[in-house]
Amino acid sequence: MSSALQQTATDADPKAALKIERKALRARQSEEPLGSGIKAEGLSVVYRNGNVALSDATFSIPTGTICALVGINGSGKSTLFKAIMGLVPVARGTVSILGQAAGRALARNIVAYVPQNEEVDWNFPVLVEDVVMMGRYGHMGFLRRASAIDKQKVDQALERVNMNEYRHRQIGELSGGQKKRVFLARALAQEGQVILLDEPFTGVDVTTEDAIIDLLKSLRDEGRVLLVSTHNLGSVPQFCDQVVLVNRKVLDSGPTETVFTQQNLAEAFGGTLRFHVLDSNELHDDDDQRQVTVITDDERPFVLYGDDDIENSQEPAKRV
Ligand SMILES: Nc1ncnc2c1ncn2[C@@H]1O[C@H](COP(=O)(O)OP(=O)(O)OP(=O)(O)O)[C@@H](O)[C@H]1O
d(CA 287, CA 9): 29
User: Domain spans of the chain?
Assistant: 34-110+192-271, 122-189, 274-306
Asked if residue 22 has pLDDT above 80, the reply is no
Residue 136: per-residue pLDDT:
94
Residue 30: per-residue pLDDT:
53
Question: Which of the pair, 314 or 210, is modelled with greater confidence?
Answer: 210
| Alpha carbon of 197 to ligand 1 centroid (Å) | 16
Residue 140: per-residue pLDDT:
83
Asked if residue 175 has pLDDT above 80, the reply is yes
Residue 277 banded pLDDT, cuts 50, 70, 90? low
For residues 24-34, give the mean pLDDT.
54
Interface predicted TM-score (ipTM) of this complex, two decimals: 0.97
CATH assignment of 34-110+192-271? 3.40.50.300
Residue 216: per-residue pLDDT:
94
pTM of the full structure: 0.80
Q: Determine whether the shortest distance from the Cβ of 152 to ligand 1 is under 6 A.
A: no
**Collapsing DSSP states into helix, strand and coil, what is residue 104?**
helix
Question: Which of the pair, 303 or 262, is modelled with greater confidence?
Answer: 262
pLDDT in tens, 119-167: 677 777 889 999 999 999 988 877 778 889 999 999 999 999 999 999 9
| Alpha carbon of 61 to ligand 1 centroid (Å) | 23
| Alpha carbon of 259 to ligand 1 centroid (Å) | 23
Q: Determine whether the shortest distance from the Cβ of 69 to ligand 1 is under 6 A.
A: no
Residue 2: per-residue pLDDT:
45
Q: Determine whether the shortest distance from the Cβ of 75 to ligand 1 is under 6 A.
A: yes
Q: Determine whether the shortest distance from the Cβ of 73 to ligand 1 is under 6 A.
A: yes
Dihedral (CA of 88, 93, 95, 101) sign: positive
Q: Where are the beta strands (DSSP E) in the chain?
A: 38-46, 52-61, 65-70, 92-97, 100-101, 111-114, 194-198, 225-229, 242-246, 250-255, 274-278, 292-296, 302-305
Which letter, b or e, does each residue of 292-314 get, where b requires 16 or more Cβ atoms within 10 Å of its Cβ?
Answer: bbbbbbeebbbbbbeeebbeebe
